[in-house]
Structure 1
Amino acid sequence: MLTKPRSAPRASNTSMYAPNKRRRLSPLMIIGISVPLLLAMIGVGVVVVLPYINSHAAAAVPNPNCTLIVPANALSAQGLATPYQLVAPDAAANGPCNEANPNQGAFVQGTIFDPATNTFSIYSPLVIDKGTQPAVVPTAPKLPANAVVGLWFGFNGTNLTLQGAQGNTLRNARCVNGLNQSVFGQFAYCAAGRFFQVVNQAIAAGKVTIPALGMAKDGMPCMTSRDFGLVDMDQSDNVQTQYLANANGQTAQVTTANQAQLANAITLGNPSDNALLTKFVDPALGCTPWMAPDLANPGSMALSMALDEIQANALQGAPMALVPLGDPMTLNNANPSMQKTTMYRRGVDQTPATAANASTKTYCMNLLNIGAPRIQKDMTMTINATSPAPAVANSLFTFLVSRFNMAFGNGGLNCTGLLNVANPAAVTLDGNGVAITGTITLAGATTGTGTGTGTTTTQAATGSANITLDPNAGNAALSLKVSYPNHNNAPVVVSIVDSATAKTLFSQQINTDNNGQAALDSAINGLQGLTAIPNTWVYNVADPNMNNTVVGTGNVVSNGTTGAATLAAAPAAPAAGTTPVAGTTPAAGTTPVAGTTPVAAPTTVTSPAPPASAGQVTPANAPYNKVSKKKHHMW
């Protein structure tokens, strides 16, 4: 869809694009606390929540809204080599836009698909200030015949608006900047829809080889850009592109030749969720990202947002994190928009948004039940890993905890309000405002209507089981139904357990549909010699995304060779000395029923002392360390 260039935002009390509002702000700014009190609190190492606030931009603050001029024939080899031009449409009132300013830089990433060889390559076009020349003129790439090119954009400010060099430039390149005058903010794309369509057709035909995710050091699959252990309030935004900048602010592509020619140049980067995954989380967990040849730098490989999304679309297990309606980049005048969310998803290879698959509440539940436990589980590996932003957090672990806190809080997706639970993530700041410890507090499987007081309940799954025994054949026909609200397209494990012998008679993982429903017709084998169904059988449903916590259980009521069970939520633990209901969590000192998983009591894990590398700038994070902390997060 063609989006028109947007004029300078007008001040408005209702528009999310009002110039006096900054959507992505610092995790280190505290609401309602005076500066002396804040300093005193930080000085004693108090644990604080990291809220989102709006602030009036001071005159010294760089202009947060910039325009990027897209060259003609942007999808051609010559168009890729033609520098994009950054400019401020409201420079007289709010100041200029400069690519070398780490708070204003725009970045472009191109991914090319060769339909003849079914392979990929990368080329990142250069961005310069309008009216200037590049430090080194880019060389046009040699594209394969019938190449399919997609372009993706990232921005370090607040709102980036695309403008065509000619009247038909954006239309010809199929550029999407948002919905009408409501831009996405830090993200845009050109020809992404066609790119993914062609690639997905080749994948369906078995022509494209997608690298396996591999197993992480924590014993779980390596993460993708759609893993709830990685995503935040606005997933799949920005790109991994970097540029060089000389002392005059002129820029060049990052190539071996340019680095030799511009020996004293600094590296500019675009903090992104994909860079967080591929440059920090993957190395910490022993995982390897998918890369492709860099056409601008022969002999080298490059990362790509498009490759990340293709791999995630193919290999991410359920539940898959998809852009929710509450994502701030898809809001239209501060209101959820199904159309704008679908437009954003189209640019990152995701299915169109529907009420069933774009629920922010469901997204929040998955952050709580899957994301927070994964961050906690990986602490021993991430606590000693390089922080993406040493000025914000002293390790990868404390950075991830800070980021989760903001996404989950009422300044992010407002998961605390939607689920009526406490934020499970908190950090302790030092005197410089750097997060030095992180705390994840888990309370088992929390319902969407939980109290948030630390008590533990389980999300209720309902349903039924009908069993018909055939004594002559030594098996039983089994018909199961499950309804698991707010867990659409998610895995569940259904099982039949004999509580008298602690033997699992049947167990199988199935997936719910778009409405959280699942059904299964199967058989229980190995029942030779059994003439009637015993009343000791139990029908259980467990959630593998919550460490196989039992979320529904029902006793099988026998009527000779037939039996039936009705699921109910797994009740809380009984008091000491009482007899637990089959399939539920027993109290301390009692014996759990075979085949069930006790619901975890609230647990708190706090990071140990900071690593020796705390706060250090490394080659991995140097391009991002100077980015303004006026965003709600840096990735």
Structure 2
Amino acid sequence: MYDSSRRARRRWPILVGVSIPLLLLLIAAGVVVLPHLTSRAADDNTDCSLIVPPNPLSAQGLATPYQLVATNPANGPCHEANPAQAAFVQGAILDPRTGQISIYNPLVIDQGTQPAIQPTPPKLPQGAIVALWFGFNGDNLTLVDNNGSLRQGRCVNGVNGSIFGQFAYCNAPAFFAAANYAIRSGRLKVPPIGTAKDGQPCPTTRDFSLVDQDQSDNVVTEYLVTADGRIAQMTAANAAALQGAQVQTNGSDERLLSIGLDSALGCTPWMAPDLADPGHMVAALPLNELQAALYQKQPVALVPAGDPMVLNNGQPDLRKLNAYRVGVDQAPVASLNQASTATYCQNLVNIAPARLKLDQQFTQASPSPDAGAANSLFTFLAQRFVTTYQELNCQALINLPDPITVTTDANGVAIDATINVPNGGGNGGGNGGQGTTVNCSVNGRVIQGCSGTVTINGAPCTFTLDQANHQVVIQCTRRGTVQPQQG
């Protein structure tokens, strides 16, 4: 039985009351418009399925709309135009000759309907390595096979009949392997993360000042929704043709960084060409994760064993944890102890409160990603930390009270927060602070920050510095021993 015990989270819904031409103008001017929350109806079915088209990694497969349908029709229908039920697909293409990455976001429509504008198949480079990632604004999204499409796409929805929930991917490990090889060979240049307005390194998706209980989830894809509920890809041409259409977004950690926090802190997300929208660049999950893997300093936030998306019937599951990790370019672990949730919680306490307080001067004046949860980006991040601390059971695991207290109004919207920075909580630099750098040496090779991968006796070994417990975790895995389950 699929694991549906994961607690539902608030999601960013459709952008209300902003016309497409105005939206494009604001984006061009560097102004980020964030959506207004539309409350989820009590009877919305939040368990939906997505029919994956045949040959999803081909040009034709990328341009074939995915079809959204209720997993159990008895619980009500699923509609892509409903912000509480919308599913999203993000695609990335790597050219093996040049090492360059481009983005193409396939479309999602309701089963049995037609798109507002039919997608055009992208022109893929010879030997292109294509991968897909999925996001969902409901609770549980199940990928459904269509004439062998899940096998053809090497799609992973979870393991042992237990799905991740809002997340899935196809062919991601192969894509990241090729991208990392291109980086090492110098063909793919990853831009540095830069310095934020607060003087600290810009945050990444693996920064403890940004992560929550289920980090590295969902995507940055946007769609257009017409008044009659038809869906189209978000492109300049489609926006011009569909006057009055609204923008549908996927609330995600990836989007929070690329669209919300980067803008507030004066940082610039890594973007790549959008093959569906010539001349335009877009942010994407794989870009965020590759950049984080390269530049995030210790301590690095990696999916912990207690992440709700990797639990199986409420219990830690090593196979599911590793299946998720390899889908977002994170090293698998040999045991659950190497993905300690207690260590994760300790790093959260050490890093996040100080950085959130340091950045309050910038985030308090920035709009909230979810107006139904908080009245500013600052209070949104504060209430998100509180939820994370509760969801991961941090207080019990590390015997420390939550350092952040949130004040809400009569509607439950966070309107203020008090942050008590724990003693020794650092300087707010979520990207490692200014402390002494510890390096490791293996057979004469220096590993900066004791974080990286080397080969020892023919096996790839990952070094991770666990500052909370003052130790270095070394995990050596023979290739092929950690295999996520398909489907």
TM-score between the two structures when normalised by the length of structure 1: 0.63
* Conserved 8 A contact 1:491-1:511: no
Distance in 2 of aligned mates of 1:319 and 1:333: 29
Match of 2:406 among 410, 422, 427: 427
Task: Give 1:180 deviation, angstroms.
Answer: 2.1
2:68 is aligned with 1:86: yes
**Structure 1 residues 24 and 132 mapped into 2: Cα distance closer, same or farther (>3 Å)?**
same
Q: Secondary structure at the match of 1:87?
A: strand
Correspondence for 1:280 among 260, 264, 269 = 260
Return the letter of the residue paired with 1:117.
T
Matches within 5 A, 1:136-285: 136-166=117-147, 168-285=148-265
Correspondence for 1:292: 272
Alignment of 1:55-454 (within 5 A): 60-91=42-73, 93-166=74-147, 168-353=148-333, 354-409=335-390, 412-445=391-424
Distance in 2 of aligned mates of 1:174 and 1:388: 33
SS for the counterpart of 1:290 is coil
Give, as a single letter, the amino acid of the residue that structure 2 aligns with 1:444: N
Asked if structure 2 preserves the Cα contact closer than 8 Å seen for 1:405 and 1:426, the reply is: yes
* Equivalent residue number for residue 509 of structure 1: 437
- Percent identical among aligned pairs is 54
User: 2:264 aligns to what SS in structure 1?
Assistant: helix
Q: How far apart are residue 513 of structure 1 and its match?
A: 9.6
Aligned residue in 2 for 1:40:
none
Distance 1:406 1:512 in 2: 36
- SS of the equivalent of 1:243 reads strand
Shift of 1:138: 0.5
Unaligned runs of 5+ in 1: 1-5, 10-15, 28-57, 447-457, 459-489, 494-507, 520-542, 552-635
Q: Deviations over 1:165-210 (max 9, x none)?
A: 11x2111110000012100000000000100111111212222101
* Aligned match of 2:8: 24
Aligned to 1:523: none
Check whether the contact 1:235–1:323 (CA below 8 A) recurs between aligned residues: yes
- Secondary structure of 2:388's counterpart equals helix
Distance 1:107 1:395 in 2: 25
Contact map agreement 2:196 2:267 (CA 8 A) in 1: yes
Give the Cα separation in 1 of the matches to 2:172 and 2:276.
21
Contact (CA 8 Å) 1:319, 1:491: kept in 2 or not?
Answer: no
Structure 1 residues 366 and 75, CA gap change in structure 2 (3 angstroms): same
Letter of the 1:434 counterpart? V
Is the contact made by 1:138 and 1:253 (CA closer than 8 Å) also made in structure 2?
yes
Distance between the aligned counterparts of 2:440 and 2:98, measured in 1?
37
Q: 1:503-561 CA distances to partner (integer Å, 9 max, x unpaired)? A: xxxxx6314799xxx99xxxxxxxxxxxxxxxxxxxxxxx9989xxxx9xxxxxxxxxx
Match of residue 607 from structure 1? none
CA distance in 1, matches of 2:269, 2:433: 26
Matches within 5 A, 1:453-602: 509-511=437-439
State the alpha-carbon separation in 2 of the partners of residues 106 and 432 from structure 1.
28
> Does structure 2 retain, via aligned residues, the 8 Å contact 1:491–1:544?
no
Is the partner of 2:109 in helix, strand or coil?
A: strand
CA deviation string 1:207-231 (max 9, x = no partner): 2101011111111111110000100
Distance 1:267 1:244 in 2: 5
Alignment of 1:621-632 (within 5 A): none
CA contact (8 A) 1:492 1:544 kept: no
Does the 8 Å CA contact 1:240/1:274 hold for their aligned counterparts?
Answer: yes
Question: In structure 2, the residue corresponding to 1:442 is in which secondary structure?
Answer: coil
Q: Distance in 2 between matches of 1:88 and 1:333?
A: 22
Could you say what secondary structure the match of 1:216 adopts?
Answer: coil
Matched residue type, 1:151 = L
- Work out the CA distance in 2 between the residues paired with 1:123 and 1:163: 21
The amino acid across from 1:146 in the alignment is G
Change over 3 Å in CA distance of 1:513–1:403 after alignment to 2: farther
Displacement after TM superposition at 1:308 (Å): 0.3
Give distance in 2, aligned partners of 1:111 and 1:544.
Answer: 32
> What is the aligned-residue RMSD (CA, Å)?
2.5
Give secondary structure in 2 for the equivalent of 1:108: strand
**Higher-Rg member (1/2):** 1
| Alignment gaps of 5+ in structure 2 | 12-39, 427-431, 448-464, 471-487
1:12 alignment counterpart: none
- How many residue pairs align between the two structures? 415
Task: Read off the aligned partner of 2:139 and give its amino acid letter.
Answer: T
Asked if the contact 2:299/2:466 (under 8 Å) is kept, the reply is no
Q: Bigger relative contact order, structure 1 or 2, given CA contacts below 8 A and separation 6+?
A: 2
Q: C-alpha separation between the residues in 2 aligned to 1:274 and 1:337?
A: 24
Report Cα offsets for 1:437-482 as digits up to 9, x if no partner.
Answer: 1111123037xxxxxxxxxxx9xxxxxxxxxxxxxxxxxxxxxxxx
Matching residue's letter, 1:388: P
CA–CA distance in structure 2, aligned partners of residues 238 and 210 of structure 1: 22
Q: Secondary structure at the match of 2:338?
A: coil
Query: What SS does the corresponding residue of 2:328 show, helix, strand or coil?
Result: coil
Query: Scaled by the length of structure 2, what TM-score is found?
Result: 0.81
Q: 1:203 to 1:26 in 2, by over 3 A?
A: closer
Distance apart, 1:433 and its partner CA = 2.3
Secondary structure in structure 2 of the residue aligned to 1:423: coil
Cα distance in 1, alignment partners of residues 104 and 413 from structure 2: 36
How much does 1:152 deviate? 0.2
* Shift of residue 330, structure 1, vs aligned partner: 0.2
Query: What's the offset of the Cα at 1:236?
Result: 0.3
Mapped contact 1:24–1:158 kept (Cα < 8 A): yes
Deviation at 1:89, TM superposition (A): 3.0
Pair 491,246 (structure 1): closer, same or farther in 2 beyond 3 Å: closer
Describe the shift of the 1:23–1:214 C-alpha distance in structure 2 as closer, same or farther (beyond 3 A). same
Distance 2:411 2:346 in 1: 33
